[in-house]
Amino acid sequence: MYHVIMLDTLFFVIIMNINWLYFFQYIALSGFPLLFSIFYVFWSLHIFPSSMYEYSYLNISHLLQLLIYIDILQALFHWSSHTFLKKTFIGKSHMKHHIHRNPKPQDAFYTGFFDAIFQLIVPLMITLHIVQPCRITATLFGAIYSWWLNFIHSSPSITYSYLENFCIVTPYHHYRHHQDPQTNFSNIIDINKILVHINEMFCHLCQYEHTLHLNCVKS
């Protein structure tokens, strides 16, 4: 039963990413091969949440939670790889990914072994245990997230203004990270832009309160 389920998930993820895989010139061993090898062991040892061993209907709320939590966790792990862990074996392992300054989708999962564990597998396991999704929801999440990681490593010359308007990461946003590794650590939500908007709103609010205060003083 375990073999069938893992093959089912693998098949679905590959089908979802076929538009990228068709143009790949190589398959990064630190990507799907490593991920599914480790997850197969985890699945066989029953390390995944018990909910993932049950059949149930797709839960949209859980799906959204998975995407939000994984982005927050991976952004933190990613940031740490470029800051206080930069000179450790984890930071050095991650720099293998930055060999590609003009990345393509095939480079999305190209990284060092320790970085793949630290920045992909660990955040995924934490997220799955927090949300406790059913197998169908978890499988769709894996397919969507892997597709998205390939997407943000695609051509930065194509603009996606409708995504940028909603503070969603685009290929250009991630391309800038490959040019300057000290910026843009998230993969889905443009946290930097959200923080800028919050700061602008706060400044406008302070200015409004200051204006009200002056008007009260004058009156």
The tens place of each residue's pLDDT in the chain, 219 residues long, gives 555 556 788 888 999 999 998 889 999 999 989 999 999 899 889 999 999 988 789 999 999 999 999 999 999 999 999 999 999 999 999 999 999 999 999 999 999 999 999 999 999 999 999 999 999 999 999 999 999 999 999 999 999 999 998 999 999 999 999 999 999 999 999 987 776 657 667 776 667 565 665 666 666
Say if 167 falls within a structural domain: no
- What's the first-to-final CA gap in the chain, in angstroms? 78
Helix axes 122-131, 60-82, angle to 10 degrees: 150
How far apart (Å, rounded) are the C-alpha atoms in residues 91 and 192? 22
Assigned token pair, 121: 């597998």
**Domain enclosing residue 72, as ranges:** 2-156
CB-CB contact of 136 with 57 (8 Å): yes
Full-model pTM:
0.87
Say if 11 falls within a structural domain: yes
95: CB partners within 8 A, 6+ apart = 112
Domain count of the chain? 1
Say if 41 falls within a structural domain: yes
CA–centroid distance for 95 within its chain: 17
Say if 143 falls within a structural domain: yes
Say if 186 falls within a structural domain: no
Give per-residue burial for 9-34: e unless 16+ CB within 10 Å, then b: bbeebeebbeebeeeeeeebebbbeb
Say if 179 falls within a structural domain: no
Say if 212 falls within a structural domain: no
Say if 204 falls within a structural domain: no
